[in-house]
Structure 1
């Protein structure tokens, strides 16, 4: 995953007659036999979880959401559970608006023990893609809340929550994810080259009006971010630049849930770019609204452009040193920012004043989300890329980034493109830090 810290710039499914849920006939049904469910009974009757019923319910859920059928989706909710119906309805609407395609939902295992009301949790595997923007599908483990219910027509397995955060359950799982489009109500904006999904928790009319205004600003920033990030590509590739997908969960914990990490991991990070399934799925930008919202418009734009560079160049798969990955994104994002270096490099200058000039370029550990000098690491990396661009030109910097990202050694690429060794680069980088620290 590659992230942006707060930089000093301030910167056709028909509902079944049974209501859509999978039904296991009761022992008194005229069929004379119970359908095989993988077990003899469900939690509602004190037995184990009915895997077969759960599997068929998930199949129906996938069909309902895949067709954007909010009525069919809501019908899969637990009896009398309005919140479950709302969640399912919202998921179907989001799937329709985001043009979710290739949706598959596979039962994997049950987790924990059933509650007194028959509610239990299932680890599932969900596969999907957003049509028109994702070139490949994502496959993620998602925790689904299910409930086994006994009624006059037999035993049913209904849906309580299509995507639950692990900490909201009694399970001990920590690897499941909550895709933004499954997290609740979502507004979707699709423009040429961009897709923006914004979680919209219920609020007052005034709150919704303010959110809509903020969304207009964000949509414009996302559009500009992609335009600016195209400069990170070779001239001949810019017209065919990949689409940019930006997802905004409701809050910081939503970012953590979407990425399947512990709550609080990205609390201080404004945005992060990563495959949405943690592996080799589509690369999207996840925005932390709690942090991005604290930045001035110029700072927010820098963060979004930085992340757009990561997304358009597939930075999560890059083999380049992390300082080059992050520094290059900042070099593109800050290229047109009209602020003095004393402002845009304030954190690294403060570190220089306190501890002296660094002897080596930032390491991977320096970019950890809990690193004490995270902001300084970004600025130090950007300074190194500025120095390299001054030597080899912006196109030369791009070639160093691309070639090392593809696996070529930094020494060989520096020598070929810039006529430098790594020692030469570090020497020039330290000299530049000293110059701006002295007010130059």
Structure 2
């Protein structure tokens, strides 16, 4: 998704146990493709028909024209895999209010791409925006050729952008006005999402009660592949990331807006403390309205950890071990973390988050909490960091940087 690299890019939280993550969270190479349970394996199918493009053009037009579940399922194909896909997709669309959607065949589908003879096509989806305009994107659709020259649609994966939630599998939406949990194919069964989200909301509200009126929406995917597909991201971007807070657009119907997407391939590898830290961090982004803003990244990420680690009793060797190790070896960083540093998907990314948090940890020790919150709010409101820091603390950014460097050096010398 192009927006991921621009000002509206998702807010990503790297796992606090980043070394374990590097060992446990390899997601494989190439395109992140999710295949629903009903798409795995399957008996050998017929050869792809010579007029595949014509057949698929008609079939996706029929999907667009369907106004009832039975029509939609029928358009998906005659076999059991297509029936399962059609029923789950129709119900998910209805539950999410994604009823202004159309499909258009673009290319592909004319040769077998899978061992069992399945093929895959590029399909454009279009949806109606709340402002009356149209949005569009494309997805990859896996299909199974049939003896009569038709296809069974069996699954979908990301194309040039994120995969809509309603195309990812069976969707269940539960919750209240405060917390909403969206489970895809049952979600991550190893995580008590509701409990983590409730704690996160309380922690954010305790610090910034006037900024937490919105709903905290958590998307719980059953696998790392699904999480990646929903985000439209490649393996090297998500392989160290436990969760992502991002903005869904109107392709996801009523879910349009800020959400937290959990990456179970990484999230499940963490201990209870770390999962709560990650959840509260991402909840801070969502509940304070930080998603998509043109604000300095170190402020956004540092404040999120300031909230998440506010009552944490772990030693600095755990919560800031990577940056303090670097400081002992090479001295403190020459400048505050840049936006580019947060975008680097490489070993050591955790140290960047720790460095940003240490700025706020220092400010929290030297100033009252309302001053720290006022600084953050001012930056979110669009004030230059220089102006916000002068207003809240009477300090320039250069002075904050110098204090932070000294703080890191002192902390590194006293933490083993």
TM-score (norm 2): 0.78
Alpha-carbon distance in structure 2 between the residues aligned to 1:199 and 1:279: 16
Partner of 2:33: none
Partner of 1:189: 174
CA shift, 1:49, in A, is 2.9
SS at the partner of 1:370?
A: coil
CA shift, 1:369, in A, is 4.8
Within 5 Å, give how 1:380-399 maps onto structure 2: 380-399=355-374
Within 5 Å, give how 1:83-102 maps onto structure 2: 83-96=81-94, 99-102=95-98
Within 5 Å, give how 1:68-147 maps onto structure 2: 69=69, 71-79=70-78, 81-96=79-94, 99-115=95-111, 121-127=121-127, 141-143=137-139, 144-145=141-142
Work out the number of aligned pairs and report it: 371
SS at the partner of 2:269?
A: coil
Partner of 2:321: 346
Alpha-carbon distance in structure 1 between the residues aligned to 2:144 and 2:229: 22
CA change 1:340–1:263 in 2 (3 A) is: closer
In our comparison, the structure showing a higher alpha carbon Rg is 1
- Specify which of 205, 228, 232 is matched with residue 256 of structure 1: 228
Tell me if structure 2 keeps the 8 A contact 1:274–1:285: yes
Tell me if structure 2 keeps the 8 A contact 1:318–1:405: yes
For residues 249-305 of structure 1, give each alpha carbon's deviation from its aligned partner in whole angstroms, at most 9, with x where no partner exists.
Answer: 222222221111224430221001111249995111111111111111111011011
Tell me if structure 2 keeps the 8 A contact 1:180–1:249: no
- Specify which of 253, 274, 277 is matched with residue 246 of structure 2: 274
For residues 132-165 of structure 1, give each alpha carbon's deviation from its aligned partner in whole angstroms, at most 9, with x where no partner exists.
Answer: xx999995624245689896xxx9x76604x622
CA shift, 1:119, in A, is 5.9
1:160 aligns with 2:153: yes
TM-score (norm 1): 0.74
CA shift, 1:114, in A, is 2.2
Partner of 1:363: 338
CA change 1:368–1:126 in 2 (3 A) is: same
Deviates more, 1:386-395 or 1:368-377: 386-395
Within 5 Å, give how 1:41-52 maps onto structure 2: 44=49, 46=51, 48-49=53-54
User: Structure 2: 5+ residue runs without aligned partners?
Assistant: 1-9, 22-47
- Specify which of 177, 189, 208 is matched with residue 162 of structure 2: 177
CA change 1:91–1:253 in 2 (3 A) is: same
User: Structure 1: 5+ residue runs without aligned partners?
Assistant: 12-42, 167-173, 202-207
Partner of 1:4: 13
Larger RCO of the pair (alpha carbons < 8 Å, separation 6+)? 2
Alpha-carbon distance in structure 2 between the residues aligned to 1:199 and 1:318: 28
Deviates more, 1:341-350 or 1:108-117: 108-117
RMSD: 3.5
Alpha-carbon distance in structure 2 between the residues aligned to 1:286 and 1:136: 27
Tell me if structure 1 keeps the 8 A contact 2:220–2:261: yes
